[in-house]
Amino acid sequence: MPFPSDAPTFVPRRGFLDYLHSYVSHFRINPRCNTAVESAYRDEESGKWHIKAKKADLNVHEEYVAKFLVVATGENSKGFIPEVSGLDSFGGEFFHSSKYENGQKYKGKAVLVVGCGNSGMEIAYDLSNWGVRTSIVARSPVHVLTTNIVYIGMRLLSYGVPCNIVDFIVVLLSRLKHGDISNYGFPRPTRGPFYIKQSVGRTPTIDVGAVEKIRRKEVQVFPSIRGIQGSKIEFANGEVEQFDAIIFATGYKSTVRHWLKVLHLLFLRRR
């Protein structure tokens, strides 16, 4: 079902919610909200799927029986926090970026954001705008582009320009826009952003203003964490800093393997 013809290119939150309500009504879908699947298996005799679920708001268990089961949960089911030496001893607050709301309550405090992907860079930018002493950990090589540079790259690809030439152009445009980001503490990938996207599915980071804050030293960049002791964090370069909170913008893991009992029926491997 298409969006209304007068809808803007970037649909605001209210408009998107209205679209979802219209979609549900049009196709007579009966969604079960606040319900989590706990197990699903296929009975070979009846050929039916048995799905056990729990309604979180009512603390009620339900069971569904269906001929077909469609798993459309994607890969972003559960926030992933990596194992960090001494994290359990950290004296402040730490959580996954999916639980981040805004930086208001951290004003005047020191917060470390782990991860320089889109979530990490946007959170670091927002924290800095709230007057938070913000730092970010750049663990992996990253391309930092703008929406306009990405658009140019996508247009060139649509015209049949080879990927290696497109990558050369967008990396050059990024350097003209941001300078050499390796000077700010970001390791640069050896392959171009569109090659990486096509080969492993990892998207480049779209800058919303964080790079300029890093350039002005309003946001500090550190390498990976070596260990934590209390509120002090030691980084791979030997520096030690004290923080009040850590926000892990470190990606997600799929939870399908925890509740789907017949994994051999799914093509979970990447193509």
Q: Which residues of 208-233 are buried (b: 16+ CB within 10 A; e: fewer)?
A: eebbebbeeeebbbbeebbebeeeeb
Instruction: Give the pLDDT score at 128.
Output: 96
For 197, residues 6+ apart whose C-beta sits below 8 A from its C-beta are: 203, 204
**Is-contact 240 232, C-beta < 8 A?**
yes
Provide the CATH topology of domain 78-253: FAD/NAD(P)-binding domain (3.50.50)
183, amino acid identity:
N
Q: Is 203 exposed, middle or buried (0-12, 13-18, 19+ CB in 10 A)?
A: middle
d(CA 78, CA 98): 9
131: left (phi over 0), alpha (psi -120 to 50) or beta: left
pLDDT (tens digit per residue) in 167-200: 999 999 999 999 888 898 888 899 999 999 988 8
Take residue 253 and report the two structure tokens written for it. Answer: 């893991």
Instruction: Domain ranges for the chain, please list them.
Output: 1-31, 78-253
Instruction: Give the pLDDT score at 188.
Output: 85
Task: Compute φ and ψ for 42, nearest 5 degrees.
Answer: -105, 125
d(CA 124, CA 116): 9
pLDDT (tens digit per residue) in 72-81: 876 666 788 8
Is the pLDDT at 262 greater than 70? The verdict is no
Closest C-alpha among 212, 52, 231, 30 to residue 124 = 212
Instruction: Give the pLDDT score at 176.
Output: 94
Of the listed ranges 24-38, 89-103, 165-179, the one predicted with least confidence? 24-38
Task: Compute φ and ψ for 110, nearest 5 degrees.
Answer: -105, 120
Instruction: Tell me the pTM.
Output: 0.75
